[in-house]
Amino acid sequence: MSSIQQAIQYVIDEVEAPALNHPELEKEFKNKVTRSKIIVRNMKKVGDLQKYLQRFETIPTQGSPGRVLYDRFKALGLETYEEPIPSIL
């Protein structure tokens, strides 16, 4: 398996699959994960995936739209996109 395939699989296994399979995560949040999953799966280079994930490096501020998703993931004990960056790249 190539480096990009390993990185993509890590994001799928550690962030996306647990979120999509979580019975308490609302459909609107699952839809957001599904959209990101499509983008992640189409990455061709590790650097491209890194750039995409870098947009999640900073935890959204209270009151911002992205914070709702982040807080919901944390409340359910799910790993967020903010967390895997150092682990995979």
pLDDT digits (tens, 9 = 90+) for 56-86: 878 888 888 878 989 999 999 999 887 766 6
Note the pTM of the prediction, 2 decimals.
0.85
> Pick the residue with more confidence: 4 or 82?
4
Query: What does R_g of the chain's alpha carbons equal in angstroms?
Result: 13
Which tens digit of pLDDT belongs to each residue from 30-46? Answer: 999 999 999 999 999 98
SS (HEC) of 30-53: HHHHHHHHHHHHCCCCHHHHHHHH
**Is 89 or 29 the better-scoring residue by pLDDT?**
29
Residue with tokens 């490096």: 57
Query: pLDDT category, 17, cuts 50, 70, 90?
Result: very high
Query: φ, ψ for residue 63 (rounded to 5)?
Result: 90, -10
Closest CA to 22 of 10, 32, 30: 30
